[in-house]
Chains A and B, each alone.
Chain A
């Protein structure tokens, strides 16, 4: 860990500021983009191109009455929306935006991201349960099942990348893609990570926890005011996070031709995936809940396992092609001298 230098604090502040604003801007981009795709105008009155709609929306949310239903479990009800924002913002800590622009370059960066995304499931479950409302509970149950299932594929689909880079550190993973982006050898891993990412952020094709045509608003039916706003902004930050992760893990992060600075490459690539997320919302129908689960466990799980086995096999076969395997070959297990058990002597 580094010490808190002014530069370091600047990075933390910058990341926080940019992420909150990107989430707000995304709301406008999505509403305008969806309107464009559905042949209507969308919000176009407040400010130039309707840009101030975001400000108007947030002012409205801030001044709404902050109502907690009398039948709700009050402490849990208040805690739930905070969890989603905290976990997503914590995940941004490990993302390397450009060489040197990263809050904490952890050795276990990828695992930290997975841990935070699995903690994010609590916001849906607890929010739905604490609302004490049948629709919310149904949404929460769907959310819990969906997020637990898709977390499995998400983690497994990334292990191919880890094998090829030989590290959980995200900066090392980006540097390992200097010759070839991992999307080429790990195309199956990328597709599965993308699908799992949509499911994990419960975005539209997979938004069964909040399916408004069947469950009112699912897990956040009872939420109003800024508590609802937290769920809302958390979802958009979640999309940004998944886009950043796809860029870092499969599309070479900040790497790109020299005529643009690294951070610009990162932003351009992330913006591309954000656009795809919005396009998906406009073009895909929502699957039924059981179809979603079946699709995950019957097709994605075997496919990820196959991808992992084939990747590991090919890497072992090549043996000297990649860093991780090379190092494994150098290490002799017998020389590690690990004791079988440690018993305290009395």
Chain B
């Protein structure tokens, strides 16, 4: 199990690096899918099969599909790939990379210094669907409610943005909206 964990973790890190270095967006997203699958395997080796399944269903199966769906509509061309290449110059990513490296060093330091319980990865902890459900509707019920409210706001916003305006068949039937707007400004 330990080997599987480190193997999957390595795959996840490498795939994520590939995600941010690809010039072609669809290829980057494919690596993102691989990264999510690797994270699912990590969850599985840590004794959380339910989370692993949800990771695949929700992230790899639904969210990335939606992102790809949007990118397909943008019709990616060879020029876009070239432009992406031109944007990704060393002088652009060096600054953020240095700052992130400081954060990474800090994180590693904290992880090394912190008193970790012995062998957290495979110490017989097994979190099944029931345990997740009990935790969500027990101590974390506030979080569930809050994310519900957030999703509701998202749905209302999407409805507002996607609502179609009344279609006008003929220009004589058109309401004089531009004038109204002007008067409102004045």
Which A residues contact B (CB, under 8 angstroms)? Answer: 73, 75-76, 79, 106-108, 111-112, 114-115, 118-119, 121-122, 125-126, 128-129, 137, 140-141, 144-145, 147-148, 151, 155, 168, 327-328, 331, 333-334, 336, 338, 340, 344-346
Contact = CB atoms under 8 A, between A and B. Distances in A.
A73 B26 contact: yes
B82 interface: no
B66 interface: yes
A141 B56 contact: no
B134 interface: yes
B56 A121 contact: no
Interface of B: 24, 26-27, 30, 33, 49-50, 52-54, 56-57, 60-62, 65-66, 68-69, 72-73, 110-111, 113-116, 128-131, 134-135, 137-140
B47 to A, nearest CB: 11
A108 B61 contact: no
Contacts of A107: 49, 128
Given A129-B72, A140-B72, A121 B138 contact: no
B49 A338 contact: no
B134 A122 contact: no
A111 B65 contact: no
Given A107-B128, A168-B129, A336 B65 contact: no
B117 to A, nearest CB: 10
Contacts of B50: 108, 111
Given A115-B53, A168-B129, A345 B62 contact: no
Contacts of A129: 26, 68, 72
Contacts of A118: 56-57, 60-62, 65
Given A344-B111, A346-B113, A111 B53 contact: yes
Given A115-B53, A144-B69, A336 B129 contact: no
A336 B134 contact: yes
Given A118-B57, A129-B26, 4 more contacts: A126-B30, A144-B69, A151-B61, A333-B138
Contacts of B30: 76, 79, 126
